[in-house]
Structure 1
Amino acid sequence: MISLLAIVLTIIIYVLAKRLYGRFKWIVFSPIILTPLVIMFILKETHISYDAYKNNVSIINLLLGPATVAFAIPMYKSFHLLKKYRMEIILSVTAGTVIAVFSSLLLAILFHLQDFLVHSIVPRSITTPIAMDVSKTLGGDPSVTVLFVILTGIAGATIGPILIRFLALRSSIAKGLLMGVAAHGTGTAKAFEFGQLEGTFSSLAMISTAIITIILSQTFIPLLFNLL
């Protein structure tokens, strides 16, 4: 009964946050920001531990995987465009992914963070379920990784549109790839606000970024850690 109430309450808060964001388009009302803040406030005021809440809503975490896979639907519908611009996509996404991974690694090292924190931060630029698996592979803490994934998504979804206007980007492909590489699922949701084509290419960029990051986590990143 408690588990059901926790799930229903979480969904209600998320839906209300989504409606607020849909009406005002203010980043503060984004479900990824407002929902956790409201839940944190409720847990604090009711003296319910985070672990207890997490256990009661664990079924929601299971939906992360199917939600990520669902991004493949618009990609399938626009497959002819993906095929047409395959070289542009491959080059831009690969460059963006490599920069994201190694900039995270460099910043972590410059600030002299502990090894497990470095390993946790590296996969911050990919979607949550895959980032957690990569973090485990590298020896990081998935909980810390989730925090940095959320922060990256919020920052990317906020700065991305500003950057698009500053650079005067008109190409739907460029807009979508930028948002997908920089801000994974959050950026993709934002890209769909621009248009269907932007969201499609953002989905592709997000998935491609995850694949490239997985490859790096199994090859170059462990080698680099050994050299440092």
Structure 2
Amino acid sequence: MITGLLYLLFTLVIYGLSKRLYRVHPKVYLSPLLITPLFLIIVLMWTQVPYETYNLGGQWLSSMLQPATIAFAIPLYKYYNVLKKHAIEILVSVLTGSIVAMFSSAFIAEWMHLDSELVSSLIPRSVTTPIAMNVSQIIGGVPNITAVFVIITGLLGTVIGPLVMKWFHIDNEVARGVLFGTSAHGTGTSKAFELSSLTGTISSISMILAALFTLGVAPMIISLLMH
């Protein structure tokens, strides 16, 4: 119990410090989602602490991810009229993006001759971590590996997203929100809120929809691949 609390506090301290650094220097390579796990990995390897021991405290953070998503209800309520106006565009865009993300992940994994367990771990990489880990477990993947893919996808999305918006002159807040929420889940949503409250809200609903679509479609994709 005490060991778990110590590792939980250690993780929170590292995250808090890295977040403060990111606020002063908002560069993607200084993102708390990148700095925190890298620092933890280095420390655990240096001290030779088994992951199972660290996870006595770390698992509590994973458990808190799911109820934390309830907080997204606040901006959704605030911009309900905008969401209602653009509901069809958002639904179609997110569904298309989610299907493309899953199939492209599957094809890349097959092309690289990864085993079935890694293929299943890679498919739900474009949705928020708690949902991705659950989907991974359902379709036969390894949730912890999926979590790594989710973080990588989110970080890449926050780097590539602004470039895509610049190249294709995407100025519409709804379009920007859909882009970030569908392609970079929670990390992208955090970046979207930096642009505007509306963009962040659209990103939030896109992220949630992408998670629901993935939850429903991923098992079917695995079934097709197995045949």
> CA RMSD for the aligned pairs?
1.2
1:48-68 Cα distance to aligned partner (Å, 9 max, x none): 222111113321111110122
Partner of 2:223: 223
1:186-211 Cα distance to aligned partner (Å, 9 max, x none): 10011011110010000011000011
Q: Which moved more, 1:51-60 or 1:144-153?
A: 51-60
Partner of 1:212: 213
Question: 2 CA distance for matches of 1:192 and 1:10?
Answer: 24
Contact 2:15/2:36 (<8 A) preserved = yes
- The size of the alignment, in residue pairs, is 226
Contact 2:102/2:218 (<8 A) preserved = no
User: What pairs up with 1:118-137 in 2 under 5 angstroms?
Assistant: 118-137=119-138
1:145-194 Cα distance to aligned partner (Å, 9 max, x none): 11111111111011111111121111011111000000000100110111
Partner of 2:25: 24
Partner of 1:51: 52
| Residue 116 (str. 1) matches residue 126 (str. 2) | no
Contact 2:18/2:35 (<8 A) preserved = yes
Letter in 1 for 2:117: F
User: What pairs up with 1:1-228 in 2 under 5 angstroms?
Assistant: 1-218=2-219, 220-227=220-227
Scaled by the length of structure 1, what TM-score is found? Answer: 0.95
Helix, strand or coil at the partner of 1:123:
coil
Letter in 1 for 2:200: G
Q: Note the residue ranges of structure 1 that are not aligned, 5 or more in a row.
A: none
Letter in 2 for 1:51: E
- The Cα of 1:9 is off from its aligned counterpart by 1.5
Scaled by the length of structure 2, what TM-score is found? Answer: 0.95
Question: 2 CA distance for matches of 1:222 and 1:108?
Answer: 12
Letter in 2 for 1:53: Y
- The Cα of 1:47 is off from its aligned counterpart by 2.3
Identity of aligned residues (%): 43
1:91-116 Cα distance to aligned partner (Å, 9 max, x none): 11111111101100111111111011
Helix, strand or coil at the partner of 1:72:
helix
